[in-house]
Amino acid sequence: MESLLHISPFTGWVYPNETVMTWSVLIAVYPYLTGLVAGAFTVSSLYQVFGFERLKPVAHLALLTSLCFMIFVPIPLLFHLGHPERAFNSTLTPHWTSAMAMFGYFATFYVALLLLEVWFAYRPFIVEQSQQKTGLLGKFYGSLTLGSTDLSPNAMRYDKKWIFALAVTGIPAAHGLHGYVGFMYGSLKAREWWASDLMPMIFLFSAIISGVSLLVVLYVTSCKLRRIPVDADCVKGMAYTIWAFIMIAIVLESLAFANLVYKGREGIDMIMEYVTGPLLVPYFLLQFAIGMIVPLLWLSYMIWRRSTGKAMVIGVTVCSVLVLFSVFMMRWNVVIGGQEISKTGKGLLTYQLSLWGKEGALMAIALSVAPIAVLFGLTKLFPPWAEHATHAKHVGEAA
């Protein structure tokens, strides 16, 4: 650290003169969770809106995944705040020129939309369970029917129209929710590493590949735990989605970096020193080489060879894990990396990640895993598997 300090012979100031890195690892977890929300909802919309039948086995799982992760999206922000109770002030008394103040409204609207779509998607199952279950569980499902127990063909057509309308509305809502995060960083002119017009698109496309990758891992794992065959066509469909969007993500990130270097604005020397020094491993090796280039080449090889069966499932799953790691490293390199470059352009800072504490590594891991634990419990009450959806459909047709 001392080797990077600069003392001005004229003023005696010590650079870099920033003593505190304001945003911690939790602020890197926050956009990571929002990206998983947007990406998972994209998979559901590909089936509900665009009719990708091969994605039907994960359509309901994608909805539940998006809802569970969305519940935990504000938690890193609240833990980061010194007074979490003041978070509501930005919603109750908003400042209309603040991008952060708009998050409360976007998040509330999106949660309401997700709850409605999940309710319509599961209404036949809820009605069926309310009639079959007794005791506390029966009352629970009965309360969720909201008094609507009609499963006639006309009612089911009405539900499908609502699901389609909500899915169409949710596409710009989900993508706008995460695009806003990129907009927030890209509009901060004080940070040379962030100030890019491509930042919203970079966040958006990386969100899509991370959400789809998460669903691959969840779906394959759930099939193994339930000891049922993995739908190879479904996994292949998600693999094509990852393969297509990862190429766009790589191009956008490369353009953003090339644009930064080509402009050569003030502070570019310090940025190049940082990129070729402390950021060399996390940025070029972990984020790009291991997390993006390897999955892209591996998926391309499997598509070229038309791989099928167990080899294809294992390959796509491993690539999905690498993509999830890459997207987290991207959030880390943006949030933490942007702050390690001093705003004066003279000297570098070092972020010390602690293990304990409300903003430590264990808390970040816990907040990342907690949505999966909630999802596991939710799937017990609302099974997202295709066989349950088919059975509920037959119940509606019989009624």
- Taking only the tens place, the pLDDT of each residue in 203-223 is 989 999 999 999 999 999 999
- Express as a percent the part of the chain with pLDDT over 70: 89
Confidence category of residue 15, pLDDT binned at 50, 70, 90 = low
pLDDT computed for residue 211 by the predictor: 94
pLDDT at 177 over 80: no
What would the mean pLDDT of 368-381 be, rounded to a whole number? 94
User: For 340, how many CA atoms within 13 A lie in the half-sphere containing its CB?
Assistant: 21
Please state, in angstroms and rounded to a whole number, the distance separating the CA atoms of residues 88 and 94: 9
Confidence category of residue 267, pLDDT binned at 50, 70, 90 = low
CB 151 within 8 A of CB 395: yes
Q: Is 382 left (phi over 0), alpha (psi -120 to 50) or beta?
A: beta
- Domain of 64, in residue numbers: 2-398
Confidence category of residue 399, pLDDT binned at 50, 70, 90 = very low
393's CB contacts (< 8 A; 6+ apart) are: 124
pLDDT at 347 over 80: no
Confidence category of residue 187, pLDDT binned at 50, 70, 90 = confident
What would the mean pLDDT of 110-139 be, rounded to a whole number? 91
Closest CA to 236 of 167, 332, 314: 314
Looking at residue 297, which CATH number applies to its domain?
1.20.1630.10
Q: How many CB atoms lie within 10 A of CB 196?
A: 21
41-79 burial: b if 16+ Cβ within 10 Å, else e = bbbbbbbbbeebebbbbbbbbbbbbbbbbbbbbbbbbeb
Beta-bridged to residue 348, according to DSSP, are: 341
pLDDT at 195 over 90: no
pLDDT at 186 over 50: yes
pLDDT at 6 over 90: no
Supply angle C-alpha 293, 296, 297, rounded to 5: 85
List C-alpha distances in Å: 324 to 27, 54, 185.
17, 22, 21
251 vs 174, residue with greater confidence? 251
Least confident interval from 56-70, 300-314, 317-331, 337-351:
337-351
Q: What is the pLDDT of residues 88-115, one digit of tens each?
A: 787 788 777 776 777 778 888 889 999 9
| Count of domains forming the chain | 1
Confidence category of residue 1, pLDDT binned at 50, 70, 90 = very low
